[in-house]
């Protein structure tokens, strides 16, 4: 795989950092999730595919020294904590990068490591609010709304951090040096919205929120309920696609207002909604099956994996616990990702084998265990 042999230490955290580690693991990296004690911690990482777990208590006297030693043989460290946390433990970049000049020290925070909000608590909704993106999301005459926690946590956070790590690793091939990455969810989300910023003069966002072409204002870029309580998604932007939409709905384009007549959009939307309610989702799928009307079913998590398109491509996979999840993306022609099909690791399940791999002796491991700096977790006891 593309990242075969890469050693990654992921300090256990919530949503964004685990996704970053998952991406690296799916494409071949040896990702070690550094967890707290299995007694003190709750396994919150549902993105542990392909990772191994080492239980290490950084609050014990020898905890920071143990992590510091691990970092000397690692390629990447993923730090999900607020600014200053690792510095207080003597594990800041100035220390770890001096020990290991090739280390990629990736810091993933909400607001960044500097600035007025740097040490504030926050969640996805706060980060997209400060990024400016939240102001664009929502229907007419409604409050702005956050699209679950996909934008900041995962797209602006986990994915952007993973991309930063890959770029730093690429640069390291020529310089031989690592570096510190300040990945934060506010700026990551803002960067994702570059198209919104750069298209201000195109007329796409001239109207109030919820009245524009791509924000639920247009009747031909909308979702509609069907007779069986399901939904269809319509994205017929271009005139030739719009014409096929109108034909599929069995409407007479000569009797309709111009496609781009903003003032008529609310009435056209009501008209389209009435038509879509007359047939089931399956019937609409059949009608638009071989067209370019840009009309597709809104698939749920229950049926997305069995949809013919996704099934043919193998877009979703099932692990040995019968859990379904998306296949790693993008798809490589020569070094494809071959994700693990095993269950996610228990906290502390691989403590001993990881420490041995990183150069600790059995005696040192035994000593750390007796001092409760590290812990083991026998998965058989959980079965």
Q: Known catalytic residues?
A: 123, 153
Q: In a 10 Å sphere around its CB, with 0-12 CB exposed, 13-18 middle and 19+ buried, how is residue 23 labelled?
A: buried
Pairing status of strand 231-235 against strand 76-79: unpaired
SS (H, E, C) the chain: CCCCCCEEEEECCCCHHHHHHHHHHHCCCEEEEEECCCCCCCCCCCCCCCCEEEEECCCCCCHHHHHHHHHCCCCEEEECCCCCHHHHCCCCHHHHHHHCCCCEEEEEECCCCCCCCCCCCCCHHHHHHHHCHHHHCCCCCCCCCCCCCHHHHHHHHHHHHHHHHHHHHHHHHHHCCCCEEEEEHHHHHHHHCHHHHHCHHHCCCCCCCCCCCCCCCCCCEEEEECCCCCEEEEECCCHHHHHHHHHHCCCCHHHCCCCCCHHHHHHHHHHHHHHHCCCCHHHHHHHCCCCCCCEEECCCCCCCCCCHHHHHHCCEEECCCCCEEECCCCCCCCCCCCCCCCCCCCCCCCHHHHHHHCCCCHHHHHHHHHCCCEECCCHHHHC
Q: Which residue has the tokens 């040192």?
A: 364
Tokens of 269: 């939307």
Pairing status of strand 76-79 against strand 104-109: parallel
Task: List, in order, residues 6 or more apart from 42 with CB less than 8 Å away.
Answer: none
**Contact assessment for residue 123 and residue 146, using Cβ atoms and an 8 Å cutoff:** no
Supply the angle between the helices 160-175 and 16-26 in degrees, to the nearest 10.
50
**Contact assessment for residue 47 and residue 76, using Cβ atoms and an 8 Å cutoff:** no
């Amino acid at each position: 795989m593309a990242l075969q042999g890469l050693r990654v230490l992921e300090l256990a955290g919530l949503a964004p950092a685990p996704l970053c580690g998952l991406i690296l693991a799916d494409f071949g990296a040896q990702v070690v999730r550094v967890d707290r004690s299995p007694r003190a911690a709750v396994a919150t990482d549902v993105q542990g595919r392909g990772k191994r777990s080492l239980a290490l208590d950084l609050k014990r006297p020898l905890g920071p020294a143990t992590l510091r030693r691990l970092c000397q043989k690692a390629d990447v460290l993923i730090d999900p904590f607020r600014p200053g946390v690792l510095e207080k433990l003597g594990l800041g970049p100035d220390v770890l990068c001096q020990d290991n000049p090739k280390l990629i020290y990736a810091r993933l925070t909400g607001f960044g490591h500097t600035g007025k909000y740097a040490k504030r608590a926050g969640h996805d909704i706060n980060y997209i609010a400060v990024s400016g993106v939240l102001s664009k999301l929502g229907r007419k005459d409604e409050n702005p709304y956050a699209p679950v926690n996909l934008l900041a946590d995962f797209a602006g956070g986990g994915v952007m951090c993973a991309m930063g790590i890959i770029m730093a690793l690429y640069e390291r091939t020529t310089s031989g040096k690592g570096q510190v990455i300040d990945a934060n969810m506010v700026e990551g989300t803002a960067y994702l919205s570059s198209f919104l910023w750069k298209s201000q003069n195109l007329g796409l966002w001239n109207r109030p929120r919820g009245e524009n072409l791509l924000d639920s204002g247009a009747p031909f870029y909308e979702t509609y309920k069907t007779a069986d309580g399901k939904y269809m998604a319509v994205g017929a932007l271009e005139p030739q696609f719009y014409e096929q939409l109108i034909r599929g709905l069995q409407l007479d384009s000569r009797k309709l207002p111009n496609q781009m007549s903003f003032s008529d959009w609310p009435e056209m939307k009501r008209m389209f909604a009435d038509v879509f309610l007359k047939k089931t989702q399956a019937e609409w799928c059949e009608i638009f099956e071989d067209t370019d009307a840009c009309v597709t079913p809104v698939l749920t998590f229950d049926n997305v994996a069995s949809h013919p398109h996704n099934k043919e491509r193998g877009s979703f996979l099932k692990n040995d616990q019968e859990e379904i999840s998306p296949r790693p993306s993008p798809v490589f022609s020569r070094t494809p990702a071959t994700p693990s099909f095993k269950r996610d690791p228990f906290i502390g399940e691989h403590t001993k084998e990881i420490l041995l791999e990183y150069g600790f002796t059995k005696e040192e491991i035994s000593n750390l265990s007796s001092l409760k700096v590290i812990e083991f977790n026998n998965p058989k006891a959980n079965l």
